[in-house]
Copies of this chain bind each other. A is one copy, B any other.
Amino acid sequence: MDVNVAHEIAGVELAAAEAGYKYAQRTDLLLARFPQGAETAGVLTRSACASPEVERCRHLLSQDSSAGALVVSAGNSNAFTGGKGAAAMTTLSDAVTTATGTTRGVFVAATGVIGEPLPAEKGVAVLDEAVSRLGREQDWTAAARTIGTTDTFPKVASTQAVVGDETVSVTGIAKGSGMIAPDMATMLAFLFTDANVDRAFLQEMLSAANAKSFNCITVDGDTSTSDTCLLFATGAADGPKLIGWGDPGADALYAAIEQVCTDLAKLIVRDGEGASKFITLHVTGAESDESAHRIALSVANSPLVKTAIAGEDANWGRVVMAVGKAGEPADRDRLSIRFGGIEVAKDGARVDGYDEAPVARHLKETDILIEVDLGLGDGRATVWTCDLTHGYISINADYRS
């Protein structure tokens, strides 16, 4: 993903500022302002212990209010902070309403330490200065860097689609490198498009794209209290409003949204805490797509599979173990497994004349492909994950997240 080709999104005004929530000498507050008529779709964590920011987004999405602004704080998630945290969230969003002069909804997100109320006054103090810089050239890399915490690189994805006679753009940023698992897996992701889309249809497209992207990645099986994915459509592009799948260009726009979601999801996995390998896991031949998805996640979340890949060990026996424990229909004697396209096990046993050398060579690469065929039906799923390394332990035994 070449971040130099991040397309400008007409109608989006961006600014980053140094609130100093936790980090010094870096931007940690991202502000975005949207024009009259901008619509928003969102997918939020299913955690029973969601942050007040997540609850506010859920509330706004359930209302008919159009999007006025987005403010993202990095370094403090404001999760599990009780009444003080809720008050801090309100203080910051009210200040954004005032500073940006919007009369519409202010979406909020925060990421970082759990359990300490967000020092909202630090964000409030830099808002006027941030507003004064809104409208300058969009710097998506700087925006992505602003929302990061343990991320080791900024995550930006962008593409275009032709809708009717217009070329529209979709650009997204994301952060997250641990506590990544489905339901939903994003940590934070924000997508922006200048397309003109009806709110309900925008939500339908985002939900579908999310199921194919952020819900198909896992780093450690842990789901955050703050996971948030929002898609803002400014409608700044010319052309009629898209209201359903039958409209000209709807498929193209959806493909662009799914592409950006998938690119961002893969970038999150590539930045998985301590990750040294990017693993693509294809499961086929399951009884259903849902069953394939659950089996794929069982393999992708297995610490024993992930440590074997870290050790560049063609330990397909652990893949068998993880398929077996998934609790899904499987028949040992129909199972086949490939590493890097090379069949290693078939019909319940290692293949005859198995040669480990080419498999071992594949495992020395950075991008690992594991294919599992259940031999039962037509169900299929793809999941992306990373290996489990000493680096993950080092990052998480020390970092207070």
Contact = CB atoms under 8 A, between A and B. Distances in A.
Interface of A: 45-50, 77, 79-85, 113-116, 178-179, 181, 183, 220-225, 301-304, 307-308, 310-311, 313, 315-318, 320-333, 335, 345, 347-350, 388-390, 392-394, 396-398, 400-401
A227 to B, nearest CB: 10
Contacts of A323: 48-49
Contacts of A329: 48
11 contacts: A45-B324, A46-B327, A48-B329, A113-B317, A115-B320, A221-B303, A222-B304, A225-B321, A310-B393, A313-B398, A389-B393
A contacts with B: majority SS = loop
B350 A223 contact: no
A401 B318 CA distance: 8
- Which 8 pairs of residues, A with B, have the shortest CB-CB distance? A114-B317, A82-B349, A311-B397, A49-B324, A47-B324, A307-B396, A223-B325, A48-B330
Given A116-B350, A181-B325, 14 more contacts: A46-B325, A48-B324, A48-B328, A48-B330, A48-B331, A49-B321, A50-B324, A80-B332, A82-B349, A83-B349, A113-B317, A114-B321, A115-B317, A222-B322
A396 B324 contact: no
A70 to B, nearest CB: 24
Given A392-B307, A396-B311, A85 B49 contact: no
A324 to B, nearest CB: 3
A178 B324 CA distance: 16
A313 B222 contact: no
Contacts of A47: 321, 324-325
A84 B350 CA distance: 10
Given A114-B318, A115-B317, A304 B347 contact: no
A308 to B, nearest CB: 7
A33 to B, nearest CB: 31
B349 A85 contact: yes
A321 to B, nearest CB: 5
Contacts of A392: 303, 307, 393
A49 B80 contact: no
A80 B354 CA distance: 14
A26 B116 CA distance: 54
A23 B215 CA distance: 43
A338 to B, nearest CB: 14
Contact of A222 (B48, B178, B302, B349): B302
